[in-house]
Structure 1
């Protein structure tokens, strides 16, 4: 599996400032696929300049952007990672290697020193993951902003949420399908530039967590 071709899907909304650094860190041999989700800055142009393939997704929402990227991916394995510089693409090969023994591998964010991670975002994530462990038997502690999975298997799950609930529905469907999900620690640092991103601001993260909790009830 480590030698298997991988497409890295990067859902983007106004990430022109962060993209050069993120794309430079994509592991050798991996294919970067930027999904431009209605950016008003130079996201698409910057992505192309730095060697990424770009697709446009007009329907707003994190799930819309991720799904468009997965559909457009050409490799048998897809990795999804935020494009704001908070996660290091260099961690992806560790996750891909674990697909030898798992159906999906996710990154559990571990904040680097000095990072300000809003308490309400952390609390919401912890509550949702506790519910996932108790109700669905998934040994997870984060809502997987970095994940790797086999493309065809992911599409076959039929995830329908096209907004912030996409990662939760993915995990719930994976549990229902009997998938083995593994979680590895990854560094989580400050974003590059502002907070405009497909997955939203800190307040958006809290709202998403509330929606996740309702969906699990």
Structure 2
């Protein structure tokens, strides 16, 4: 695992696991956490958010008190009634106000304390989009069918975009305005892939950094079954079939190039 990259110092402290922010300063990074029935994982996840960063928990129809738990722990809670991973992620992106936005799963499989290593290259200008490449710490962390699907997607991404990625990791970071300019439209499992594909089409510098991947709390809503994995692959194949965007407006979304 690569060393954490320090970002900056912030006006924030933690008291008893509750995030307290200083009213005199805005959060430098917003962390979008799509959430569907993650009451068990939320206390640990929110307790690991880097100091000074704002957690945006996007509730996607939970019935287990997740929104109340997140709010009590100091997170900003957004409600997205449309079911879908992409719908929740995009609702969080539009609710964000910080220049840099990170995304992270809310099931305790990924440690938010490692987000500075993901967001650092975006902040220092050496990358436009950084993905956390998942490195399972146990076999139980990543079921065989999910790993096989991920390998196939990496191959398809390479063929479609030329990017030699190893993982379509859910932990990622980019600049908010640049992400909005990509005009992402998928609201299901294809959202993270569409972000990568459109970023590549726009000439973004895309990078990976290793992050440990642990067994999640509860059961995955997407890849916990063969059927769920198949639906995810189907959504992503539809994204890969999209024609590259070549209009002048989209070409102007390349961060840091002056285009």
Query: Normalising to structure 1: TM-score of the pair?
Result: 0.93
1:111 aligns with 2:136: yes
Answer with 1 or 2: which has the greater Rg: 2
* Map 1:38-117 → 2, pairs under 5 A: 38-99=61-122, 100-117=125-142
Find the residue that maps to 1:8 and give its secondary structure.
strand
* Map 1:3-18 → 2, pairs under 5 A: 3=8, 5-18=28-41
- Determine the C-alpha separation between the residues in 1 that align with 2:116 and 2:46: 15
2:45 corresponds in structure 1 to 22
Query: In the TM superposition, what whole-angstrom CA distance separates every residue of 1:172-210 from its partner, at most 9, and x where no partner exists?
Result: 101110000000110000112x2154x453432343124
2:255 corresponds in structure 1 to none
Query: In the TM superposition, what whole-angstrom CA distance separates every residue of 1:74-131 from its partner, at most 9, and x where no partner exists?
Result: 1111100000000000110011111120111010110003434221111111111112
Q: Does structure 1 retain, via aligned residues, the 8 Å contact 2:131–2:207?
A: yes
Find the residue that maps to 2:140 and give its secondary structure.
coil
Q: Is there any run of 5+ residues in structure 1 with no aligned partner, and where?
A: none
Query: Normalising to structure 2: TM-score of the pair?
Result: 0.79
Distance 1:200 1:40, change over 3 A: farther
- For CA contacts below 8 A with separation 6 or more, give which structure has more relative contact order: 1
Distance 1:128 1:2, change over 3 A: same
Residue 2 (structure 1) aligned to one of 7, 20, 38: 7
Root-mean-square deviation (Å): 1.6
1:136 corresponds in structure 2 to 161
Residue 205 (structure 1) aligned to one of 206, 229, 238: 229
State the 1:140 CA deviation: 1.1
Q: Does structure 1 retain, via aligned residues, the 8 Å contact 2:141–2:213?
A: no
- Determine the C-alpha separation between the residues in 1 that align with 2:84 and 2:202: 25
Choose 141-150 or 201-210, whichever is displaced more. 201-210
Larger fraction in helix: 1
Q: Does structure 1 retain, via aligned residues, the 8 Å contact 2:188–2:235?
A: no
> After TM superposition, which residue ranges in structure 1, 4 or more long, deviate above 4 angstroms?
none
Find the residue that maps to 1:23 and give its secondary structure.
helix
- Determine the C-alpha separation between the residues in 1 that align with 2:200 and 2:220: 31
Find the residue that maps to 2:49 and give its secondary structure.
coil
1:163 corresponds in structure 2 to 188
Q: Does structure 2 retain, via aligned residues, the 8 Å contact 1:120–1:206?
A: no
